[in-house]
Structure 1
Amino acid sequence: MKLQSVAIFVLFLSLFVSVFSDTARTGDWTPIKNLNDPFVQEIAQILLKEHEKQSDEKLSLVAVVRGESQDGAGTNYRLVLEAKDESAATNIYEAIFWDKSFTHFKNLVSFKKTYLILLFYNII
């Protein structure tokens, strides 16, 4: 009986730790801490080039405003970018990029101009 009680206690303890742990789990979006990291800047440039291929809209990067990553079958990156168009008008864009480095697969999942995101990310 005592062994069974210990086993149940260990089971509940491990469940408690896994549920309330501060570490990111697979599938969670995790903030990117250094938006000026060369790898993040490279992803931002790739996003702009892929968007240009799909839309013929040429944008130049002003800044990466916010970024998050999500691990799973590869890594998803969700970046909020400030970019200028050819008329020098600056807009905010949200883009999601899927990278499977181990197979050299890269895919622009979505790229959209956004206004509501400004309030959500406390940019204005």
Structure 2
Amino acid sequence: MTTSSLLLAAVAVVAVCAAAAAPHATVALAGGWSPITNIRDPHIQELGQWAITEVNKNPSTSGPLTFSKVTGGEQQVVNGINYRLDIDASSSIDVDGSYKAVVYEQDSTTRKLISFEKN
């Protein structure tokens, strides 16, 4: 075997070992949920505010909610994006409430509140 063949074989072995040892990366696959990496992104915060506004359109016994901030979440790529948002909000009854909202957004003008519940 020539020196170049041995070197090529050694490089291949190192590449295979490095790939096997690498940590699994988080990739947003169609249909899979992935963490929202920048929860402070103005768009994410605006989605949380929008979800609270939608909930407030339906009268409840606890009174209207006041949006505080989105504290966490995940996103799912579909024909658009589903967002699972952890939202801090308050009401006249529950001063510091934690809520989970699922919002579907196809583009910046098409949104639907899929679900909303208290954590």
TM-score higher than 0.5 here? yes
Offset of 1:24 from its aligned partner? 2.5
CA contact (8 A) 2:28 2:77 kept: no
TM-score, normalised to structure 1, is: 0.67
Gaps of 5+ in 2: 1-23
TM-score scaled to structure 2, two decimals?
Answer: 0.70
Q: Which one of 60, 64, 70 corresponds to residue 66 of structure 2?
A: 60
CA 1:21–1:79: 2 relative to 1, 3 Å: closer
- Identical-pair percentage: 32
1:63-107 per-residue CA deviation (whole Å, 9 max, x = no partner) reads 2121111111111010011111134611110000001117x3210
- Residue of 107, 112, 115 corresponding to 1:110: 115
Once residues 27 and 114 of structure 2 are traced to their aligned partners in structure 1, the CA distance between those partners, rounded to angstroms, is 26
Which ranges in structure 1 are unaligned for 5 or more consecutive residues? 1-19, 115-124
Counterpart CA distance in 2 for 1:99 and 1:37 is: 16
Structure with the higher helix share, 1 or 2: 1
After superposition, give the CA deviation of every residue in 1:29-58 in whole Å (9 maximum; x if it has no partner): 111111111101110110000010124441
Structure 1 residues 3-42: aligned runs within 5 Å = 22-42=26-46
| Deviation >6 Å, runs of 4+ | none
Aligned residues: 94
Q: Which of the two has higher C-alpha Rg? A: 2
